[in-house]
Amino acid sequence: MRADARDNRTRILGAAEEVFGRAPSASTDDVAKLAGVGIATVFRHFPTKVELLEAVLTLRLERLRNRAVRLADETDPGSAFFGFFSQVVSEATSKLAIADALSASGSAVGQDARNAGTGLREAFGNLLARAQHSGDVRADAEFPEVYALLIGASRGATAVGLEPAVRDRMLALLYDGLRPGRTT
C-alpha cells in the first residue's frame, strides 16, 4: 500500500472510531468528512459500513490487547491489573456502541475481531495471574468470573451512563471484593 493510501486508511479508521463511538447509526459520509477524504476513498478501503465497523472494533480490541501486554512488564502487577480494568470500563461506552452497531447490522463478528478479542482475553488473564501471584488479587478469583465482572462493569456503567466519579466508586467496591482477605 502506498504511503498516501496508508495515511488515508489511518485517518478513516480514526474518524470512524470517533464518529461511530458517538453515534453508531452515523453514516460513512460523516466518517469521510471528519477524515478529510471523499466517500469514494472510504469505500475503496472499506466497501461496506459493516467492514468499516469491523475494522474499527478490531483496532480497539488490538489496542487494548497491546496495552495489557505492555502492562505485564510493570513492576507493580496489582496497579497494572486494576489500572487496566479501569481503563477498559472507562472506554467501554464507545467500544460497546461500535460492537452493538456491528451486531445490529446482522453481521457476525469477523475473524480479525475474534482473534483480537481472544488476544485481549489472554493478555487480561496474564495480568490477572500476575496480580494474583503478587498477592494483590485474591487467589480464588478465577478468570471466568473476573472476566465476567469486567464485562458486567463495562456494560453496566455504559447502560446507566455513570458519571466518572460514580463509576470510580463502583470500581472501588468491586476491587475491594477482588483483593485478598475477602471470602465468599
The architecture that CATH gives domain 48-178 is Orthogonal Bundle (1.10)
Rounded to the nearest angstrom, the gap between the alpha carbon of residue 98 and the centroid of all alpha carbons in its chain is 10
The residues, ordered by sequence, that sit 6+ positions from 2 with a Cβ below 8 Å of its Cβ are none
Gap between the Cα atoms of 120 and 51, Å rounded:
21
Gap between the Cα atoms of 57 and 52, Å rounded:
9
Query: Coil, helix or strand for 25?
Result: coil
Let me know: does 112 contact 156? Beta carbons within 8 Å: no
Let me know: does 157 contact 94? Beta carbons within 8 Å: no
Name all contacts of 32-35 with Cβ < 8 Å and 24+ positions apart.
35/8, 35/11
Secondary structure letter of residue 107 according to DSSP? P
Let me know: does 52 contact 12? Beta carbons within 8 Å: yes
Amino acid at 102: L
Confidence (pLDDT) at 23: 82
> What are the domain boundaries of the chain?
1-47, 48-178
Confidence (pLDDT) at 184: 54
pTM across the whole model: 0.87
Lookup: cell for 129: 495471574
The CA-based angle 151-164-22, given to 5 degrees, is 70
Give 112-160 as a DSSP string. HHHHHHHHHHHHHHHHHHHHHHTTSS-TT--HHHHHHHHHHHHHHHHHT
Confidence (pLDDT) at 127: 98
Q: Between 99 and 129, whose confidence is greater? A: 129
Query: Coil, helix or strand for 80?
Result: helix
| Per-residue model confidence as pLDDT tens digits over 22-74 | 887 888 999 999 999 999 999 999 999 989 999 999 999 999 999 999 999 99
Closest to 65 in 3D by CA, of 126, 129, 132, 154: 126
Query: Coil, helix or strand for 82?
Result: helix
Q: Between 62 and 111, whose confidence is greater? A: 62
Top CATH class of 1-47 equals mainly alpha
